[in-house]
């Protein structure tokens, strides 16, 4: 198994928002998706996922509705709101700048 | 933002729905995960176990979600409060003891704070009250003295510090006309007096400068009360003539309700709505003679002028005046005192001492509550251990326990407020009659806020240490032990002992304070007043100058009145004097010459009074030498003087004073310029707590004809029976004359010791509460340790210990708390003695008898408090212990 990396502070929100950009998902799917896309490097603990979802919902960046999952069970689906999309754009931009800057420092110093 | 609010509101009000959804969501996640693991080849059992490990604490996740919803604070508080309520109900005795003791101590604090709020904190009812100052003169002999009217005029004309400045002096008037004649509290005021205070008449206007000119003074401003009660709130009152002092005064203004007298020093009238009429002060007499001082100054400082600067300026003006008018004006400095300081200055210390006392009571109650909570926390160790084991963070446990203590303190606070509501009324009725701003004392908004704050602080104060301690419970240990036998940690034991020692020491401080106040009060009521207060009726009369124009008329009136009073059945003796003892009279005369004595830089001065022949025997003031006045000491007879013992000792030491003469004339020419001492009477002090009697002399009323006199009637039986006789006697001589201030001398004396009585009652009450609380505290700790050591005691008995040994052991443990507590208390009280210095009389702050009694009392109480648990210990049954182990 690949070694997992602890998520830096604040990146969890970014990952969730990005994952939801492709469409509404329930909590489990979000964590699976992140794990997959990151080649099993990033994993989201349930302990932090759900509080984060509730926090994002409170801020109005995502909204929730109940739907039916593939195996016909009721599941809570989250999707991006208009403000959530904007927020994602801003945070992505900020993240890019940050990583570039950090990389520059690491290489140049 | 709106989204946020909507979300939180839903989370809060549809709490159950939201919680069920969360449960369902988490269960869904769980199942999906299990499914996933099973697909990778695990058995269902194994998959579930794995998932559970992944998940971490299920409850913790839910808790975090609640947190994320932003409603956790409210939700948890509600939940904690519900739980706390259940806890309180399951342990009724415990809750009751805590709540009642807190209610008593918080209530006492709220009540005292009501007084402090009303008296010290509430704004004075004048505009920009911090700009108002009182102006006095001061010399070596008279630290606080009224102004001379012409000095005041110079102050007014020359100063640049005040935006307005005014003067006033007491001058009661007699209102006649419709209805019973009435004596009214009156003040002569200069123009601009109300402008200084920032008050406007509700009808008419205030006096102008014209009214200050002698002969223009027949104008009056009425108080709202008088306008309503005597003139039916007549809207057309302005311009109407009313009869005062038998003269027609024109009403030119009516002040609104709430016009408060700013207090005065000379013939003081209490602060408050205590004045009925104001008349224009007129500057009569010779402006070059400035020896008499009887008006008081008040001024409004300009915005940028400090009272120090104003004082410096007035002193410079005073020096100019002294250069212009000579020696009469030298030796004075001007005092400028902020009105607030002047008004509440003396009561401030008393109130702060009382606040300190109730604060101590509250601290003791807190220590007690903390102790009780710690005892309970150790019996709840198991419960707390379970919560910790279930994954509750320690902060949650602390929070839960703090909620419980806050619930207790707020319940106590609410009850306390109810107590304060009743207590404040009792307090106000106990207050000395002349206490400033007594009518401003209510349980008001600030008092409510204060109570809430105190309840909150109290709850945290007594709850925090036990809560932190309980949260440090080791879940493993707590679960293994059963709740009852778990022993308190050593730390906890030490903290509890320290709390009891603190309680005992604080209670000792209060008891010593109460002892000092009791001693003071007893000293004052048992001291020999120099007169006899019982069987004595007093009243006051004021003869209007308009009707009693000559000295003969006045003298004749009092001569006739006293002889008809003496003839009343049941009267032992009756007389009239210019004043009554202990009523604040301090008229001083200086500048007299004693025959045959050189004025070697010594200024003679003495209190001066007037008296009729019967006055001294009616007052019960003893004659030491010579004789009392007689009917013969009247006009044309040689001027007779009676002096008091102090005056004889001070000015004629070791001499026979009878027949000695003194005079107020600078150059006495003839015999009639001299006054001859005919008698010496016993001393009476100005006030019961004055350090000593001042030199004093009396003129014969029949020779000097003072028109404002007090009547004193000594009776064989109840003096109230002669009230009607007194009224009839006065009205037979003058039907228009008001008989005012009819009082028993007993009540005059009572009033004069009301401040020390008030202080003693309150400090005593608080001290009693404190020692009761400390006893409960000591009992609690000892009883708890005894219950913890039951098995140890049983073993000791089994091993042959005598029951008396066990008794002694427990009592010794209690002494280990009480003795250091008392010693600490004594030291604390000794270092605080200075604070009480001005409040006590005739007793040293370190009075050994009081200190000794308090030590004895505290140790006895501690012994009694620990005796019950000690006896229980000594009855320990070894069999019970052995079976239990």
Q: What is the pLDDT of residues B809-841, one digit of tens each?
A: 888 888 888 999 999 999 999 888 888 887 888
Q: How many domains does chain A contain in total?
A: 1
Find where tokens 């107020």 sit: B664
Model pLDDT, residue B417: 94
Minimal CA–CA distance to B751: which of B223, B268, B261?
B268
Distance from CA of B68 to the nearest CA of A (A): 5
Which sequence spans correspond to the domains of chain B? 2-53, 146-331, 548-735
Model pLDDT, residue B483: 44
Q: What pLDDT digit, counting tens, does each position of B150-202 carry?
A: 999 999 999 999 999 999 999 888 888 777 788 899 999 999 999 999 999 99
Q: What pLDDT digit, counting tens, does each position of B70-126 carry?
A: 776 777 788 888 888 888 888 788 888 889 999 999 999 999 999 999 888 888 899
**Per-residue pLDDT averaged across B365-380, rounded?**
83
Say if residue B584's pLDDT is above 80: no
A-chain residue closest to B62, CA distance? A51
Residue A61 falls within a domain, yes or no? yes
> Picking from B232-241, B364-373, B742-751, B872-881, which range would have the lowest pLDDT averaged per residue?
B872-881
**Per-residue pLDDT averaged across B452-459, rounded?**
93
Spell out a b/e string for B8-30, using b for 16 or more CB atoms within 10 Å of the CB, else e.
eeebeeebeebeeebeebbebbb
- Residue A35 lies in domain: 11-108
ipTM value, please give it: 0.85
User: Residue B486 CB: number of other CB atoms within 10 A?
Assistant: 19
Q: B29–A27: do the CB atoms touch at under 8 Å?
A: yes
Parallel, antiparallel, or unpaired: how do β-strands B296-301 and B173-176 relate? unpaired
**Which residues in chain B have Cβ-Cβ distances shorter than 8 Å to A53?**
68
Q: What pLDDT digit, counting tens, does each position of B12-46 carry?
A: 777 778 888 888 888 888 888 888 888 888 888 88
Give the span between the Cα atoms of B33 and A74, in whole angstroms.
Answer: 16
User: What tokens does A85 get?
Assistant: 């999309």
Q: B21–A51: do the CB atoms touch at under 8 Å?
A: no
Q: B8–A58: do the CB atoms touch at under 8 Å?
A: yes
Residue A2 falls within a domain, yes or no? no
Parallel, antiparallel, or unpaired: how do β-strands B186-189 and B277-280 relate? parallel
Give the CATH number for residue A78. 1.10.10.10
Q: What pLDDT digit, counting tens, does each position of A61-81 carry?
A: 898 888 887 777 888 899 999
Instruction: Catalogue the long-range contacts made by B13-19 (C-beta closer than 8 Å, 24 or more residues apart).
Output: B15/B75, B18/B69, B19/B62
If you ran DSSP here, which 8-state letter would residue B132 be given? E
**Per-residue pLDDT averaged across B587-603, rounded?**
75
Residues 6 or more apart whose CB falls under 8 angstroms from that of B5 comprise: none
Model pLDDT, residue B885: 57
User: Could you say which of B28, B33, B57 has the minimum Cβ distance to residue A26?
Assistant: B28
Q: A50–B22: do the CB atoms touch at under 8 Å?
A: yes
| CA distances, A68 to each of B19, B39, B845 (Å) | 19, 21, 84
Minimal CA–CA distance to B114: which of B445, B431, B458?
B445
Q: B64–A47: do the CB atoms touch at under 8 Å?
A: yes
Distance from CA of B7 to the nearest CA of A (A): 6
| CA distances, B335 to each of A52, B47, B128, B160, B304 (Å) | 71, 92, 21, 16, 19
Spell out a b/e string for B710-732, using b for 16 or more CB atoms within 10 Å of the CB, else e.
bbbbbbeeebeebeebbeebbee
Give the span between the Cα atoms of B94 and B84, in whole angstroms.
Answer: 13
User: What tokens does B218 get?
Assistant: 């027949």
Strands (DSSP E) contained in B171-246 are 173-176, 182-184, 186-189, 203-204, 219-222, 241-244
Residue A83 falls within a domain, yes or no? yes
**Which residues in chain B have Cβ-Cβ distances shorter than 8 Å to A26?**
25, 28-29
Model pLDDT, residue B1: 62
Say if residue B279's pLDDT is above 90: yes
**Which residues in chain A have Cβ-Cβ distances shorter than 8 Å to B26?**
46, 50
Say if residue A31's pLDDT is above 70: yes
Predicted model pTM: 0.75
Using pLDDT thresholds of 50, 70 and 90, give the confidence band for residue B327. low
Residues 6 or more apart whose CB falls under 8 angstroms from that of B63 comprise: B72, B396
Using pLDDT thresholds of 50, 70 and 90, give the confidence band for residue B267. confident
Phi, psi dihedral angles at B345 (to 5 degrees): -45, -50
Give the span between the Cα atoms of B612 and B624, in whole angstroms.
Answer: 18
| CA distances, B6 to each of A24, B2, B14, B20 (Å) | 22, 6, 11, 19
Q: What pLDDT digit, counting tens, does each position of B517-544 carry?
A: 888 888 888 888 899 999 999 999 988 8
Parallel, antiparallel, or unpaired: how do β-strands B605-611 and B696-700 relate? parallel
Q: B24–A51: do the CB atoms touch at under 8 Å?
A: no
Q: A52–B68: do the CB atoms touch at under 8 Å?
A: yes
Model pLDDT, residue B833: 81
Distance from CA of A100 to the nearest CA of B (A): 31
Give the span between the Cα atoms of B157 and A106, in whole angstroms.
Answer: 83
Residues 6 or more apart whose CB falls under 8 angstroms from that of B270 comprise: B261, B263, B433, B434, B435, B436
Give the span between the Cα atoms of B253 and B269, in whole angstroms.
Answer: 21
Model pLDDT, residue B338: 94
State whether residue A84 sits within 8 Å of chain B by CB: no
Give the span between the Cα atoms of B64 and B72, in whole angstroms.
Answer: 9
Phi, psi dihedral angles at B416 (to 5 degrees): -60, -40
DSSP string, B85-105: HHHHHHTHHHHHHHHHHHHHH
Residue A6 falls within a domain, yes or no? no
Which A-chain residues 10-69 have CB contacts (< 8 A) with chain B?
A: 26-28, 32, 45-48, 50-55, 57-60, 66, 69
Say if residue B210's pLDDT is above 70: yes
Q: B70–A60: do the CB atoms touch at under 8 Å?
A: no
User: What tokens does B596 get?
Assistant: 């045959």
Q: A28–B28: do the CB atoms touch at under 8 Å?
A: yes
- Which stretch, A25-29, A44-48, B602-606, has highest mean pLDDT? A25-29
> Picking from B1-10, B437-446, B661-670, which range would have the lowest pLDDT averaged per residue?
B1-10
- Is the dihedral angle over the CA atoms B841, B846, B849, B851 positive or is it negative? positive
Residue A5 falls within a domain, yes or no? no
């Amino acid at each position: 198994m690949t070694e997992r990396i602890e998520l830096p502070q604040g990146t969890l929100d970014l990952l969730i928002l990005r994952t939801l950009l492709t469409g509404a998902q329930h909590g489990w799917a979000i964590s699976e998706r992140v794990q997959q896309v990151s080649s099993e490097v990033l994993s989201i603990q349930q302990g932090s996922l759900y509080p984060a979802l509730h926090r994002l919902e409170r801020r109005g960046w995502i909204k929730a509705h109940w739907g039916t999952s593939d195996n016909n069970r009721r599941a809570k689906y989250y999707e991006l709101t208009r403000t959530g999309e904007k927020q994602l754009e801003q945070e992505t931009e900020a993240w890019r700048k940050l990583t570039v800057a950090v990389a520059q420092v690491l290489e140049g110093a | 933002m709106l989204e946020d609010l909507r979300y939180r509101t839903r989370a809060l009000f549809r709490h159950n729905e939201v919680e069920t959804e969360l449960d369902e969501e988490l269960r869904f996640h769980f199942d999906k995960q299990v499914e996933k693991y099973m697909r990778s080849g695990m058995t269902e059992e194994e998959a579930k176990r794995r998932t559970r490990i992944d998940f971490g604490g299920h409850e913790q996740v839910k808790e975090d979600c609640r947190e994320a919803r932003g409603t956790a604070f409210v939700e948890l508080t509600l939940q904690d409060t519900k739980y706390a309520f259940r806890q309180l109900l399951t342990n009724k005795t415990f809750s009751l003891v805590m709540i009642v003791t807190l209610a008593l101590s918080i209530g006492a604090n709220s009540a005292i704070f009501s007084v402090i709020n009303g008296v010290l904190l509430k704004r004075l009812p004048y505009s920009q009250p911090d700009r108002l100052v009182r102006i006095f003169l001061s010399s070596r002999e008279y630290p606080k003295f009224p102004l001379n009217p012409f000095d005041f005029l110079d102050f007014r004309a020359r100063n640049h510090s005040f935006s307005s400045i005014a003067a006033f002096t007491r001058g009661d008037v007699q209102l006649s006309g419709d209805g019973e004649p009435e004596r009214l509290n009156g003040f002569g005021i200069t123009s601009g007096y109300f402008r200084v205070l920032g008050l406007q008449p509700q009808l008419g206007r205030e006096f102008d400068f014209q009214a200050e000119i002698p002969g223009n003074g027949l104008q009056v401003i009425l108080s709202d009360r008088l306008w309503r009660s005597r003139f039916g709130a007549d809207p057309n009152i302005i311009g109407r003539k009313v009869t005062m002092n038998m003269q027609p005064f024109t009403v030119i203004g009516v002040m609104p309700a709430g016009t408060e007298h700013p207090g005065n020093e000379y013939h003081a009238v209490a602060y408050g709505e205590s004045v009925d009429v104001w008349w224009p002060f007129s500057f009569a007499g010779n402006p070059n003679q400035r020896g008499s001082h009887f008006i008081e100054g008040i001024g409004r400082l300009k915005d940028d002028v400090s009272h120090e600067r104003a004082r410096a300026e007035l002193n410079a003006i005073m020096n100019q005046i002294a250069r212009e008018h000579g020696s009469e004006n030298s030796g004075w400095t001007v005092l400028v005192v902020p009105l607030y300081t002047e008004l509440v200055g003396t009561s401030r210390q008393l109130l702060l001492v009382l606040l300190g006392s109730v604060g101590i009571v509250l601290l003791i109650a807190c220590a007690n509550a903390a102790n009780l909570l710690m005892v309970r926390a150790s019996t709840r160790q198991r419960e707390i251990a379970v919560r910790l084991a279930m994954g509750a963070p320690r902060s949650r446990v602390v929070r839960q326990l703090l909620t419980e203590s806050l619930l207790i303190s707020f319940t106590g606070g609410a009850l306390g407020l109810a107590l304060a509501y009743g207590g404040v009324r009792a307090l106000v009725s106990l207050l000395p009659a002349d206490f400033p701003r007594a009518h401003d004392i209510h349980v008001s908004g600030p008092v409510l806020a204060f109570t809430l704050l105190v309840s909150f602080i109290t709850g945290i104060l007594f709850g925090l240490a036990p809560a932190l301690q309980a949260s440090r419970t080791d879940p493993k240990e707590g679960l293994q032990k059963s709740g009852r036998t778990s022993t308190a940690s050593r730390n906890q034991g030490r903290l509890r002992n320290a709390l009891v020692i603190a309680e005992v020491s604080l209670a000792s401080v209060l008891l010593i304070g109460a002892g000092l106040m009791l001693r003071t009060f007893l000293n004052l009521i048992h001291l020999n007043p120099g007169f006899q207060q019982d069987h004595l009726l007093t009243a006051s009369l004021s003869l209007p100058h308009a009707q009693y124009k000559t000295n003969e008329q006045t003298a004749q009136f009092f001569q006739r009145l006293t002889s008809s009073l003496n003839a009343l059945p049941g009267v032992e003796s009756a007389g009239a004097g210019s004043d009554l003892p202990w009523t604040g009279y301090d008229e001083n005369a200086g500048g007299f010459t004693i025959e045959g004595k050189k004025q070697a830089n010594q200024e003679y001065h003495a209190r001066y009074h007037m008296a009729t022949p019967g006055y001294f025997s009616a007052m019960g003031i003893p004659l030491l030498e010579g004789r009392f006045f007689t009917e013969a000491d009247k006009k044309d007879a040689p001027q007779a003087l009676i002096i008091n013992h102090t005056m004889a000792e001070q000015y004629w030491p070791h001499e026979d004073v009878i027949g000695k003469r003194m005079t107020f004339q600078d150059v006495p020419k003839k015999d009639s310029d001299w006054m001859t001492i005919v008698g010496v009477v016993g001393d009476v002090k100005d006030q019961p707590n004055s350090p000593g009697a001042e030199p004093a002399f009396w003129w014969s009323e029949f020779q000097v004809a003072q028109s404002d006199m007090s009547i004193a009637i000594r009776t064989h039986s109840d003096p109230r029976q002669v009230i009607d006789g007194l009224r009839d006697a006065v009205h037979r001589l003058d039907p228009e004359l008001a008989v005012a201030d009819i009082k028993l001398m007993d009540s005059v004396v009572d009033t004069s010791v009301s401040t020390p009585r008030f202080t003693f009652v309150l400090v005593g009450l608080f001290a009693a509460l404190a020692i009761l609380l400390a006893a409960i505290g000591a009992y609690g700790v000892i009883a708890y340790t005894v219950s913890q050591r039951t098995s140890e005691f049983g073993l000791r008995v089994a091993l042959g210990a005598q029951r008396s040994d066990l008794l002694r052991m427990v009592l010794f443990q209690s002494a280990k708390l009480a003795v250091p507590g008392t010693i600490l208390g004594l030291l604390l009280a000794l270092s605080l003695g200075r604070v009480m210095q001005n409040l006590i009389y005739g007793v040293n702050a370190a009075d050994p008898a009081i200190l000794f009694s308090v030590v004895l009392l505290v140790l006895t109480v501690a012994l009694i408090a620990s005796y019950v648990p000690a006896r229980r210990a000594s009855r320990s049954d070894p069999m019970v212990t052995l079976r239990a182990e």
